[in-house]
Chains A and B, each alone.
Chain A
Amino acid sequence: MNIGVLALQGAFIEHERILTKLGAVCTEVRQPSDLHGLDGIVLPGGESTVQGQLLQKSGLLAPLRELVTDGLPTLATCAGLILLAQKIRDSSVTHLGTLPVTVKRNAYGRQLSSFVTLESVRGIGSYPMIFIRAPYVERTARNVEVLAEVNGNIVAVKYGNQIGLSFHPELSENLKIHEWFLSLCAKREKYF
Chain B
Amino acid sequence: MEQTQYELNKGLAQMLKGGVIMDVTTPEQAKIAEEAGACAVMALERIPADIRAAGGVSRMSDPKMIRGIQEAVSIPVMAKCRIGHFVEAQILQAIEIDYIDESEVLSPADDVYHIDKTAFQVPFVCGARDLGEALRRISEGAAMIRTKGEPGTGDVVQAVRHMRKMNAQIRQLVSMKKDELFEAAKQLQVPYELALYVHEKGKLPVVNFAAGGVATPADAALMMQLGAEGVFVGSGIFKSGNPAKRAAAIVQAVTNYTDAALIARLSEDLGEAMVGINPDEIKLIMEERGL
Please give the residue numbers on chain A whose beta carbons come within 8 Å of chain B beta carbons, in ascending order. 7-14, 30-31, 45-47, 49-50, 53-54, 57-58, 78-79, 105-106, 109-112, 114-116, 130, 132-133, 168, 171
Contacts and interface: CB of A to CB of B under 8 A. Distances in A.
Contact of B11 (A31, A57, A168): A168
A111 B99 contact: yes
A7 B99 CA distance: 24
Nearest to B20: A50
A7 B224 CA distance: 14
Contacts of B76: 47, 110-111, 133
Interface stretch (B55-63, B169-177, B187-195, B251-259): B251-259
Contact of A47 (B9, B39, B97, B122): B39
Contact of B8 (A46, A78, A130): A130
Nearest to B95: A110
Nearest to A116: B4
Interface of B: 4, 7-9, 11-12, 14-19, 34-35, 37-40, 70, 74-76, 93, 96-99, 121-123, 248, 251-252, 254-256, 259
B272 to A, nearest CB: 23
A10 to B, nearest CB: 6
B256 A30 contact: yes
26 contacts: A7-B255, A8-B18, A10-B14, A11-B15, A11-B17, A12-B18, A13-B17, A46-B15, A46-B16, A46-B17, A46-B39, A47-B40, A47-B76, A49-B34, A50-B75, A54-B37, A78-B15, A105-B74, A110-B98, A111-B9, A111-B76, A114-B11, A114-B12, A130-B11, A171-B7, A171-B11
Given A9-B17, A10-B17, A12-B18, A49 B11 contact: no
A14 B8 CA distance: 15
B8 A132 contact: yes
Contact of A79 (B15, B35, B98, B121): B15
Contacts, number: 109
Contacts of A171: 7, 11, 14
B123 A9 contact: no
Contact of A10 (B18, B34, B121): B18
B12 A132 contact: yes
A9 B8 contact: no
A14 to B, nearest CB: 7
Contacts of B35: 53
Contacts of A46: 15-19, 39
Given A9-B18, A111-B98, A50 B251 contact: yes
B19 A49 contact: no
B37 A53 contact: yes
